[in-house]
Chain A
Amino acid sequence: MALTREQMAQRVAQELQDGYYVNLGIGIPTLVANFVPEDIEVMLQSENGLLGMGQFPTEDEIDADLINAGKQTVTMATGASVFSSAESFAMIRGGHVDLTVLGAFEVDVHGNIASYMIPGKLIKGMGGAMDLVAGADNIIVTMTHASKHGDSKLLANCTLPLTGKNCIKKILTDLAYLEIIDGKFQLLEYAPGVTIEQIKMLTEGELVISDNVKEMSF
């Protein structure tokens, strides 16, 4: 069975470490915040200018001056700081954020990522995604393994305009956890109930099955 959005977030959360500063993109990455293990502390960075993002506010706590990068009303966690967008991207470009999690339309074996535009169809803009993929060492891309029509999103070469070049190393899909090593997708983990054959069929770029491949555990 393919993973649910929550299960994907749950698997990504296993990569969090105590003391990490983390930037979570919109969509599935945002859900990762719900699965932070209880015995560790992480601080969430929101690129509009907030470090230490808290949970959503109650009706009484809503403050129009306090939003996240998804424009949602939020609160501040204890020990939070606010700053300008220039300062925020100094943190991001300067490599100070420990982990970035973001969505994508396509990733290829070269570590290229396309996530911001479908020519003629969808032009919303890249927001902070280009800075995030250029600035971070440790990035996890979360996306479905294939489109609704069964077209692979793990490609030999991206077909859409790129968000970043040679910058992606880790991908968590609804079927598998993979790393890009030496220009190939390495299958490290498969979702419970999903076969390696299924993953092979839905992976267009070259796929290598790791010697230590295992079923994902939660």
Chain B
Amino acid sequence: MSGFNKVVASYQEAMAGLEDGMTVIAGGFGLCGIPENLISEIKHKGTQNLTVVSNNCGVDDFGLGILLSDRQIKKIVASYVGENAEFERQMMSEELKVELTPQGTLAEKMRAGGAGIPAFYTATGYGTPVGEGKEVRTFSGRNYILEESIRGDFAIVKAWKADTYGNLVYRKTARNFNPMAATAGKITVVEVEEIVQPGELDPDQIHTPGIYVDRLIQSSFEKRIEQRTVRTVPNDNGE
């Protein structure tokens, strides 16, 4: 037994301690690299009044969208919420609070939160509705707004591979918000496609060091594609 072994035996154990009213930071961009089974566990658990921080909110029947139908989310901090009919309905009827946050600012809020930086200045959003009510400072003649960082009670993350110590490797653009989310949870829960023994991952190739990870579980994934786009290749007849 190692004190660094982060592997848990069940999804119930993975999300133990999640309570009504908590803040959950989720990795993923669109439906790519989302912790789909951890989200299903939250649905199954029925936790209410959650604040969710995620770039998007899934689609009606997949990803974070499945938490909308039972009204488990009271507030979402996101950069883009299109392509989700139930989301739009709840937002328009003000059942759901939405804090639209520029994508880069959202990534930096998570990164800063995990890195112990309480706030940062950015030019993004100055002079727009995003900047309203926020402190403005001028550096070298340019205006910047003060944005506060974010931490979550839980962070839910999808990685490709891990060792049992919680060292993580992501795959292609499924990395997206996951590395920042992993740093910003009081409890960070990660689901992966494969868990290997410590020493099997090349230390030079680890994207998220295990220090950020509290719980780890291996599973299989549907990996639904939102915009399946293909090119046609000419056949032998050049058609």
Interface residues of A (CB under 8 A from B): 46-50, 55-59, 62-68, 70-74, 76, 82-86, 88-89, 92-93, 112, 117, 123-131, 134-135, 161-166
Q: Are B176 and A163 in contact (CB under 8 A)?
A: no
**Known A93-B123, A164-B128; 20 more pairs at CB < 8 Å:** A47-B104, A48-B173, A58-B230, A58-B233, A62-B230, A64-B32, A67-B226, A71-B30, A73-B227, A84-B107, A84-B178, A84-B207, A86-B110, A117-B100, A127-B102, A127-B103, A130-B105, A131-B105, A163-B128, A164-B127
Q: Is the CB of B175 within 8 A of A73?
A: no
Question: Could you list 18 A-B pairs, sorted by A, with CB under 8 Å?
Answer: A50-B172, A50-B173, A57-B230, A57-B231, A62-B225, A64-B224, A64-B225, A67-B225, A73-B230, A82-B172, A84-B207, A89-B104, A123-B88, A128-B103, A130-B128, A135-B104, A162-B127, A166-B127
Which of B31, B78, B173 is A66 in contact with, Cβ under 8 Å?
A: B173
Chain A's nearest CB lies how many Å from the CB of B118? 17
Contact B175 A123 (CB under 8 A): no
Given A65-B173, A93-B122, A130-B130, A59–B225 Cβ distance below 8 Å? no
Residue on A with the closest CB to B129? A161
CA distance A72 to B228 in the complex (A): 6
Whether the Cβ atoms of B124 and A83 lie closer than 8 Å is: no
Complex Cα distance, B228 from A67, in Å, reads 9
A165 CB contacts on chain B under 8 angstroms: 126-128
7 interchain residue pairs of minimum CB distance = A89-B104, A165-B127, A131-B104, A124-B82, A64-B223, A130-B102, A125-B80
Q: Does B125 reach chain A (CB closer than 8 Å)?
A: yes
| Also in contact, A128 and B104, with CB within 8 A (given A134-B122, A164-B127, A164-B128) | yes
List of A residues within 8 angstroms of B160 by Cβ: 65
Question: Once the chains are docked, how many angstroms separate the CA of A134 from the CA of B174?
Answer: 26
CB of B103 within 8 A of CB of A89, answer yes
Residues of chain A within 8 A of B140, CB atoms compared: none
> Which of A129, A134, A162, A164 has most chain B Cβ within 10 Å?
A134
Residues on B with C-beta less than 8 A from A162 are 127-129
| Cβ A48 vs Cβ B176 within 8 A | yes
Separation in Å of the A95 CB from the closest CB of chain B? 10
B177 at the interface (CB under 8 A from A): yes
Distance between B123 CB and nearest chain A CB, rounded to angstroms: 4
Closest to B224 in A: A64
Which B residues lie at the A interface, using CB under 8 A? 29-33, 55, 78-82, 88, 91-92, 98, 100, 102-105, 107-108, 110-111, 122-130, 160, 171-180, 207, 223-233
Complex Cα–Cα for A88 and B160 (A): 20
Q: How far is the CB of A55 from chain B (nearest CB, A)?
A: 6
Q: Which residues does chain A contribute within 8 Å of B174, judged by CB atoms?
A: 64-65
A84 to B184, CA, bound (A): 14
Would you call B91 and A123 a contact (CB within 8 A)? yes
Q: Please, how many angstroms separate the alpha-carbon atoms of A81 and B100 in the complex?
A: 29
> Inside 8 A of A82's CB, which chain B residues have their CB?
172-173, 175
Contact yes or no, A72 B229, CB < 8 A: yes
Instruction: Name the residue on A nearest B106 (C-beta).
Output: A85
| CA A160 to CA B204, docked complex, whole Å | 48
Residue of B nearest to A164 (CB): B128
Q: How far is the CB of A135 from chain B (nearest CB, A)?
A: 7
B174 to chain A, nearest CB (A): 4
Contacts of B123 in A (CB 8 A): 93, 134-135
Query: In the complex, what distance in Å separates the CA atom of A48 from the CA atom of B122?
Result: 19
Contacts of A112 in B (CB 8 A): 127
What distance in Å separates the Cβ of B35 from its nearest Cβ neighbour in chain A?
14
Q: How far is the CB of B89 from chain A (nearest CB, A)?
A: 12
Question: Nearest Cβ in chain A — how far from B120, in angstroms?
Answer: 11
CB distance from A148 to the nearest CB of B (A): 21
Contact of B176 among A56, A84, A93 (CB under 8 A): A84
